[in-house]
Amino acid sequence: MEKSIQYAGEFSIKELKIHTSAGRVLDYTSSDNVLGIELFEDLYSTSMSGNLIMVDTDNVSENGPIIGQEFLTLKIGTPSLDETDISFTFNIHKVATKVDTNKNTQLLSLSFIAPEILRNTRTRVSKSYTDTISNIVSDILKSEKYINTKKTLFIEPTNGIRKVVSPNYHPYKFINNLTNEAISSRGSQNYVLFENSKGIHFQTFDSMMDSDTIANYSSGDVGMINGKTTDVQKDFERPLDLAIIGNNDLLLNTMSGMLGSKIIKYNIYNKTYETSTYGYFDNFEGNRTIDLNPVYNNNEIDESGDTIGSFSDARLYLQSVVTDGVNDMQHTNETSSYSYAPNGLSNSLLQRRAKVTELNSGINLALKVNGNTTIAVGGTVSVQIPVTGNPHEGGEYDIYYSGKYLITKLKHQFDTANRRHTIEMNVAKDSVSTKLSNDSSALEPSNGSGDIIEITT
């Protein structure tokens, strides 16, 4: 029978065992020696990681011994949410000790990572593949020669049969290279490889943004009321802390190509070249965004009628291809009618680089909330932020900062002393729900007459 939750942030450790290289199993599932556990997830990281802080009163660091070559089996859950338990095996790779002043105890800080990241560093892929990119990724992740993961895989299918060669790359490096040109079966770009508490994902930002929100937060009241829980659901919805940590940086967004970029595709096969451009406003409606409206104004900034998205020369790329316009001519077989899709980098690179910049350098919030095991990187949450000062026409909530956000970074903190689970996360959005005011052009004010004064000596 599932235990009902008593307060927001409640958690239970269902298994915590250290398997030493000497064959001993140290069971700390119900031990008071464990002070805290941290788990880290990142949308741009291929592996989860974490720290375990514990008190050593039996000199297990020597008797175990614990030397940074152990396995940690961990299962943590939120009461009444047993199906969402975080249950993984990790590799302990680093041990730090601090001896207490009474010489009878010492603190152990054990750093751990997912075993897949160690397998990645130990192996290389030197092989040719002929398949869709999504199938190639699945094969590398499941292959006993490479990553050999048994975790749940969330793979978004890609279009086109590709013939590619890995020149002795580490598996994750090869996969990350493939993300740059992968296009999903529904035409979406922007693939990313990451791991969260649910499994390993090869997925587009678009599908993440399309997902239903997994939590709703309103910062009208921060924290609990008088330190006491009155409503568990309400306490889950109240951020313990909230801060705006990022907003638009026009210079950075111009230099990075988010607002405008260009790729020149040179075709070695028929000695031609083709130019493709990306413009923030020109491409906005054709790309999946988390909300409906751009975060910048589409008004004129100079006498030529340009907008901030008109300058594709701000960031240039060059790509060489071997294609007849339809098929990859680098890999052909005269005895077969089968053809391969050409390198699709020029179709995805500009948009993908722009999207990554939008999420990293756009509207970003830092949230600290009461934790539960349903929250994971790659999910979406709704955040309502009150208007500063007097309410305006938009109502009591900020019409630009409030809305749906994508979780890009997350830290689970399990405080065993206070029996409370909190989550610190960064969330980002690439658009706003309300269209920005645009009543006139925004031409640069004059900085003088523009006269040239000749200097004589």
Identity of the amino acid at 368: K
Per the model's pLDDT, the better-predicted residue between 189 and 178 turns out to be 178
Q: Reduced to 3 states, what is the DSSP secondary structure of residue 290?
A: coil
Mean pLDDT across the stretch 187-211?
Answer: 93
Average pLDDT value over all residues in the chain: 87
DSSP, collapsed to helix, strand or coil, labels residue 411 as: strand
Q: How far apart are CA 229 and CA 207, in angstroms?
A: 36
Between residues 147 and 219, which one has the greater pLDDT? Answer: 147
Q: Sorting pLDDT into bands at 50, 70 and 90, what band is 287?
A: confident
Peptide bond into 79 cis (omega under 30): no
Residue 449, class by beta-carbon neighbours within 10 Å (0-12 exposed, 13-18 middle, 19+ buried)? exposed
**Residue 361 binned pLDDT confidence (cut-offs 50, 70, 90):** confident
Q: Sorting pLDDT into bands at 50, 70 and 90, what band is 331?
A: low
Query: Quick one: average pLDDT of 337-350?
Result: 66
Instruction: Concatenate the DSSP letters of all residues of 362-377 into one string.
Output: SEEEEEEEE--TT--T
Those residues whose C-beta lies under 8 Å from the C-beta of residue 183, and which sit 6 or more positions away, are 158, 159, 160, 189, 344, 347, 348
Mean pLDDT of 340-348: 65
Contact 256, 355 (CB under 8 A): no
Interatomic CA distance for residues 299 and 55, integer angstroms: 61
pLDDT at 167 over 70: yes
- Cβ pair 431, 399 in contact under 8 A: no
Percent of the chain with pLDDT over 90: 56
Q: Does an H or E element contain 70, and which?
A: strand 70-77
Q: Hey, what are 242's tokens? A: 């909230």
Give the confidence band of 227 by pLDDT, cuts at 50, 70, 90.
Answer: very low
Any idea of the CA torsion for 177, 180, 185, 187, to the nearest 10 degrees? 180
Confidence of residue 1 (pLDDT cuts 50, 70, 90): very low
Q: What is the mean pLDDT of residues 179-199?
A: 91
Most distant CA atoms of the chain, gap in Å: 94
357 CB neighbour count, 10 Å cutoff: 20
pLDDT tens, position by position, 69-121: 999 999 999 998 888 899 999 999 999 877 765 677 888 999 999 999 999 99
381 touches 217 (CB < 8 A):
yes
pLDDT tens profile 236-281? 999 999 999 988 889 999 999 999 999 988 887 778 888 889 999 9
Tell me the average pLDDT across 405-422: 95
Dist CA 188 CA 337 (whole Å):
28
pLDDT at 226: 40
314 has pLDDT over 80:
yes
* Residue 222, pLDDT score: 44
Specify the DSSP element, H or E, that contains 198. Answer: none
As a whole number, mean pLDDT of residues 387-396 equals 69
Q: Hey, what are 345's tokens?
A: 């980098």
Supply the pLDDT for residue 224: 43
Residue 12, by phi and psi: left (phi above 0), alpha (psi -120 to 50) or beta?
A: beta
Q: Which domains does the chain have, with CATH numbers?
A: 12-118 (2.30.300.10), 121-205 (3.55.50.20), 211-248+359-429 (2.40.30.150), 250-351 (no CATH)
Q: How confident is the model at residue 303 (pLDDT cuts 50, 70, 90)?
A: confident
